[in-house]
Amino acid sequence: MAILFHCPWDNADEWLGALRAALPDDEFRIWPDIGPVEDIDFAMVWKLPHGNLADLPNLLAVASLGAGVDALLADPDLPRHIPITRLVDPLMVDRMAEYVTATVLHHHLGLDRYDQQQDAVHWQRHPTTDAGDRTVALLGLGQMGRRCAQHLGALGFKLRGWSRSPKTVDGVMCDHGEDGLKETLKMAEIAVLLLPLTARTTNLMDRSAFAAMPRGSYLINCSRGEVVVDGDLLAALDSGHLAGATLDAFREEPPRQDDPYWRHPKVRLTPHIAALSSSASAALILAEQVRRAREGRPLRDVVDIGAGY
């Protein structure tokens, strides 16, 4: 049998090499040169053009090459009778926690302001806030949210969390549902978005959500660009209600050259690098998924198609 592979990233060759090393007896078919479709029993893809999976009659499972599966689930012809899995790599979880911790600290310590002072050749100290007096809200309490909570909790931050359904996380005051979101945002001096993209989270952070946050609060988006209503965020920044934002995900990637985020004085932009996957570690995880599918064993990290993640 053969494996369908589609990876539009710059390091696709690196991924393919790692996967071939982990599955030395398998043939990899690189889309669009997939050969006889009946040979393919497994697919490893990222943003595969819609409709292609439906043409594979012997497909056992589909594995996303990343943590997100929104592009896969948007395929109207997606075969929904087979397992669809997302990549859950402990290394990615750690990388996300590192990014979030660094970004929270950058704002917490006022380093944006000192960067601006350096540009202006201006020397001035400003009052500090202790971590125990700062509330960080984590919107999304999956594996990445829980790991971020561990890192931030170790630094002494007060933590609140929100999720679609009830969850309990050590050291985090957790809320859920629509009313819980409002209560969480009211206390969010720093709000970190770690949500999957679903029908319920699309445009979740809109004018009313930003208005619920305290004046002078800060937004960090490490989820998907579609979770944020861009015009409402820009308005909240321009009005001074939000002090700033760090954005790692966008509706269009890369953003257009005339996108206001590029040059906005209150926005830090990074090119979707908060939790980069590693081909070396991911290949071992994906190889195990292939073995499980072929042996008829349950796959890990199977997506709940109804929930969207």
Q: Which residues are catalytic?
A: 224, 272
Nearest to 44 by CA among 21, 15, 24, 73: 15
Instruction: Using alpha carbons, list the distances in angstroms from residue 256 to 240, 250, 251, 252.
Output: 25, 10, 10, 7
Do the Cβ atoms of 241 and 211 come closer than 8 Å? Answer: yes
* DSSP run (H or E) holding 182: helix 177-186
What Å distances lie between residue 132 and 116, 128, 152, 156, CA to CA? 26, 12, 11, 5
Cβ neighbours for 280, distance < 8 A, ≥ 6 positions apart: 18
Token output for 84 = 């669809």
What is the SS3 assignment for 281?
helix
